[in-house]
Structure 1
Amino acid sequence: MNVKEYIASGILELYIAGSLSEKENEEVHAAIQKYPELLEEVASIEKAIVILSAAAKTNNSYSFADIQHQLQDNTPKIIPITKSKTNWSQLSGWAAAFIFGSVLIYTVIQNNKLKTQIATDKQQLEEQIDKASNSLAEAEKLIEVFRDKEIIAVPLAGQKVSPNSYAKIYWDKKTNSIYLDAKGLPEPPKGKVYQVWSLKLSPLTPTSLGTIDTFTADVNKIFTIDNPNESEAFGITLEPEGGSASPTLEQLYTLGAVSP
């Protein structure tokens, strides 16, 4: 940008007077923020307006009191009327424009902040609505699953390492999936995850169904897990992040057999 040409264009005066469109105001405001010379020029213009406005109030030498005095004097006199070289109405307009322009600058800044905040709030609200809708759909699906007579419910009791722990598995053989309600498990320590196992009992053969990596973040603690196995029991162990090839029996938190 050629700053001198920009100043000479008169756009700064129009900006201060509030005669620009909202888009032009924003563009000029951005330019003022970018170029210190423009900010100095705006300050200079505003200062001139203040000085001229003050002059308009103090330099009018012929007042209403003078006219009243002339009317009360019986001696015929000609009241000299001189035309001021200064356009006081224009100066008054500039003074008002200065006040308006100052408010406008502040308003534009505040409006920009408000627009940003509104956009942020709108995005957050949309995300909350979307999340709530998804949660509602998931809740309705779970209710249908839990009420299905063909769903196999398998309670998992706490074991030696954590006697107070408990969980429950709802096994849908039609879809080869289980719904694990893990609300009764404590928060895993840092660097550890829960791993779910499908078990065959004779001989004892564990098959990993994966780790619950989102346990801490999930509020409801209900997880959907694929299970194509002919499971006879289910267990949950605490393992290092990434899981283990075989269950760490010393860290067996819950265990439950499928009812025949």
Structure 2
Amino acid sequence: MNIQEYIQSGIIESYVLGLASEEERLEFESVCATYPEVVEAREALELSLEHQAVSNAVTPPAYLKDKIRSAIGGQQASNEVTTSYTTTENDYADEDQPLIIRKLFSLRSAAAAAIILLGASTLLNFYFYRENGKLVKAFNDLSVQHSQLVNNNQSMQAKLQDYAANFEHIRNPRMKAVKLPGVSANSSSMCTVYWDMQTKDVYLMVNNLPKPATGMQYQLWAMVDGKPVDAGMLDMDKDNMVVKMKNIPSATAFAVTLEKKGGSPTPDMNAMYVMGTI
């Protein structure tokens, strides 16, 4: 248990103010028995409330002590004490003294209760402020996740539309499929060329090619009249299954080599990965 997070969760305030549920109260008392830090935090809060109540307590008038003694003992106040009172004090009759005392005590109790309620209200406001902050954070997190899901969904929809459009091309009866199996040490590699015999557009499907090293890029070649002709570069970072390449009017074979990024005017025959004849 992260004891600092537990202390800051607001459970101590709920327990001291009597707002905790029975389950929360039992759990809190169990934690107190195990972690002295929680007990110290609880006692600090109780002491803070007590200090707040005492510091704001209403001090009774200085002459109240003599009036209380007079009322209890049934004795009259001395002339010396009487002359020290103000004119307003002498206006009170002896039979009114108990009522005055009761009123003063009532005022003092009401003031102390108001101070305690003010402290409790402050703690409650702080507690609910923290809870509201947690809810706002959770809502913001959900909003971010929702936005990410929407963006991912839109991206996936766009890819599916591209796939659908490309597959519409390769399913066309005019398309001629040319298998390009792996060569030499790259026997596990495989590509397929789809060649539109009417428009002469060329589409390349990557069945299996290793990810090129940094600064390198695959290049498609068409054998025309016994010479290799650049048929376009393959950008594997775009995650497309079928890529439209350059238009090739005629060819007897296709091959893929690994060249420096941007392409080469002539193929590196030592870096050939796949090749297939028509």
TM range (shorter): 0.5 to 0.7
Amino acid at match of 2:160: L
Alpha-carbon distance in structure 1 between the residues aligned to 2:115 and 2:162: 69
Which letter maps to 1:160? Answer: S
Task: State the partner residue of 1:205.
Answer: 227
Deviation at 1:181, TM superposition (A): 1.6
Q: TM-score, normalised by structure 2?
A: 0.57
CA distance in 2, matches of 1:211, 1:51: 79
Report the Cα distance in structure 2 between the residues aligned to 1:48 and 1:242, rounded to whole angstroms. 75
Q: Distance in 2 between matches of 1:145 and 1:174?
A: 12
Give the corresponding residue for 2:202.
Answer: 178
Partner of 2:182: 158
Partner of 2:107: 84
How is 1:1-260 mapped onto 2 (pairs within 5 angstroms)?
A: 50-51=49-50, 54-55=53-54, 81-82=102-103, 83-85=106-108, 86-173=110-197, 177-200=201-224, 202=225, 204-213=226-235, 215=236, 218=239, 222-232=241-251, 233-258=253-278
Deviation at 1:55, TM superposition (A): 4.7
Offset of residue 117 of structure 1: 1.7
Q: Secondary structure at the match of 2:207?
A: coil
Q: Which has the higher relative contact order, 1 or 2, with Cα contacts under 8 A spaced 6 or more apart?
A: 1
More helix by share: 2
Partner AA of 2:195 in structure 1: W
TM-score of the superposed pair, with normalisation by structure 1:
0.60
Amino acid at match of 2:231: L
SS of match in other structure, 1:148? coil
Q: CA deviation at 1:257?
A: 2.4
Distance 1:187 1:207, change over 3 A: same
How far apart are 1:142 and its partner, in Å?
A: 3.6
**Paired AA for residue 228 in structure 2:** P
CA gap of 1:230–1:217, structure 2 versus 1, over 3 A, is closer
Match of 2:17 in 1: none
Following superposition, the deviation at residue 239 of structure 1 comes to 0.8
1:144-170 Cα distance to aligned partner (Å, 9 max, x none) = 333221111111122224223221011
Secondary structure, aligned partner of 2:170: helix
Letter paired with 1:227: K
CA contact (8 A) 1:52 1:91 kept: no
Aligned identity (percent) is: 22
Answer yes or no: is the 8 Å Cα contact 2:195–2:201 preserved in 1: yes
Aligned residues between the structures: 189
1:104 maps to amino acid: F
Within 2, Cα distance between the matches of 1:227 and 1:125? 36
